[in-house]
Amino acid sequence: MKHLQHSADQDVNQVFKGSTELSAASRRQPWKVISVAISVALLSASAAHAEDQGWYASANAGIGHRAQDSGGIDSTLAGQGVTATSSLDRRDNIYNLNLGYQFHKNFALEGGFAELGKYKFNSTASAPATDSLNGDYRVKGWTTSAIGILPLQNGFSAYGKAGVIFADTEFNVASATGANTVTSTSKSSTRPLLGLGVSYDFNKQVVGKAEWTRYNNLGNSATGKSDIDTYTVGVAYKF
Q: Mean pLDDT, to the nearest integer, of 204-220?
A: 96
pLDDT value, residue 45: 47
Residue 200's identity, in one-letter code, is: Y
Which range has the top average pLDDT, 50-54, 161-165, 177-181?
Answer: 161-165
- Does one domain contain both 213 and 108? yes
Phi first, then psi: what are they for 180, rounded to 5°? Answer: -120, 140
- Does one domain contain both 82 and 200? yes
Q: Mean pLDDT, to the nearest integer, of 145-163?
A: 96
pLDDT in tens, 54-100: 999 999 999 999 998 999 999 999 999 999 999 999 999 999 999 99
By the 8 A CB rule, do 120 and 135 touch?
Answer: yes
Give the N- to C-terminal CA distance of the chain in Å, as an integer: 68
Q: What's the mean pLDDT when you consider all of the chain?
A: 86
Q: pTM of this prediction?
A: 0.78
Residue 50, pLDDT above cutoff 70? no
- Does one domain contain both 210 and 119? yes
pLDDT in tens, 189-211: 999 999 999 999 999 999 999 99
- Does one domain contain both 188 and 232? yes
- Does one domain contain both 27 and 138? no
- Does one domain contain both 91 and 206? yes
pLDDT in tens, 11-37: 545 534 444 544 554 455 554 554 555
By the 8 A CB rule, do 208 and 156 touch?
Answer: no
Q: How confident is the model at residue 49 (pLDDT cuts 50, 70, 90)?
A: low
Residue 7, pLDDT above cutoff 70? no
Give the CA dihedral 58, 116, 142, 193, nearest 10 degrees: -90
CATH number of the domain that residue 222 is part of: 2.40.160.20
By the 8 A CB rule, do 99 and 145 touch?
Answer: no
- Does one domain contain both 155 and 180? yes
- Does one domain contain both 222 and 153? yes
Burial class (CB in 10 A: 0-12, 13-18, 19+), 182: buried
- Does one domain contain both 19 and 103? no
Count structural domains, the chain: 2
- Does one domain contain both 75 and 153? yes
pLDDT value, residue 52: 76
Of 48, 70, 85, the residue at which a domain comes to its end is 48
In whole angstroms, give the CA distance from residue 224 to residue 218: 8
In whole angstroms, give the CA distance from residue 124 to residue 126: 7
SS3 207: strand
- Does one domain contain both 39 and 61? no
* Residue-number span of the structural domain to which 232 is assigned: 54-238
- Does one domain contain both 68 and 102? yes
In whole angstroms, give the CA distance from residue 122 to residue 174: 10
